[in-house]
Amino acid sequence: MNYIHYILLLLLRSIVLMLPFHTAQKFGRQFGSFIYHYIPVRQELVLNNLRPAFPEKKKEELSRIALLNYQSIFATFFEAFWIKRITEKKVREIITIPDSELKTMDEIVRRGKGLIVLSGHITSWEFIAMSVGLLSNHPLQIIIKKQHNPYVDRMMNSLRTKFNNTVVDMDRAPREIIKRLREGGTVAMLADQSGPEEGLFVDYFGRPTSTHVGPAVFALRTGAPMMMVYAIRIEDGTFDVWFE
């Protein structure tokens, strides 16, 4: 069954790769709309999460936000597929990182304490990780969670490592992270999903939610600073990337 799913994914990817980048983005949004309206996978879960988060909003507005979420996530998937075709020249056309942001990152890395880059599942996280490592000239060691499907896992890791970034499976990440940071390297991780029961609980949209303490622990143990990286998808299909 894993192989069948993989073949179907390859067929979809082959269609995406035949399209220009911005056309692929539009196709992704249309595909997301189709899934939302006709194959409503997890739709009720999405709406159940939106209702307590935005109790002041009416049903129609919540449905619109949910639809936009589906459009965004499938545009993100198709953008990730397109990494196979991307060139450095195309990355520089699509991604804008202010020189001041890159200079700040460079200064931090040169201190020799390493750098922890944090982000979340916001816009095109795979595409942004690839771009930040390339445009900053500081390749990222990306902490990943292994996919259940081994064929898809290998495909995704080949995309993630296209421009000198490396990947480390979460199961063996702690030792690798400490080693990389003590060598002055840059480690990237997504830490926005719900954490374990022993995590630090915070109020999130009115709900007690577990957060991951790992990034803070690594920073305290190594002295490495943490930097948030996030991207805004502009209407023309390009991205503005910011560091904090």
Structure-model confidence comparison of residues 168 and 194, the more confident one:
168
CA distance linking residue 11 with residue 195, whole number of Å: 34
Could you read off the pLDDT of 94-150 as tens digits, one per residue? 999 999 999 999 999 999 999 999 999 989 999 999 999 999 999 999 999 889 999
Measured between alpha carbons, how far is residue 74 from residues 7, 24, 60, 93, 165 in Å?
A: 18, 10, 22, 21, 24
* pLDDT of res. 173: 84
* pLDDT of res. 82: 96
The share of the chain scoring above pLDDT 70, in percent, equals 100
Span between the terminal Cα atoms of the chain, in Å: 43
Instruction: Calculate the CA 127 to chain-centre distance.
Output: 7
In 3D space, the residue among 114, 70, 110 whose CA is nearest the CA of residue 226 turns out to be 114
Residue type at 114? G
pLDDT of 196 above 90: no
pTM of the model: 0.90
Could you read off the pLDDT of 234-244 as tens digits, one per residue? 999 999 999 99
* pLDDT of res. 125: 93
Structure tokens at 173: 């990440």
CA distance linking residue 214 with residue 62, whole number of Å: 33
CA distance linking residue 220 with residue 225, whole number of Å: 9
Secondary structure letter of residue 15 according to DSSP: H
pLDDT of 160 above 90: yes
Mean pLDDT over the full length of the chain: 94
Q: In angstroms, how far apart are the furthest CA atoms of the chain?
A: 53
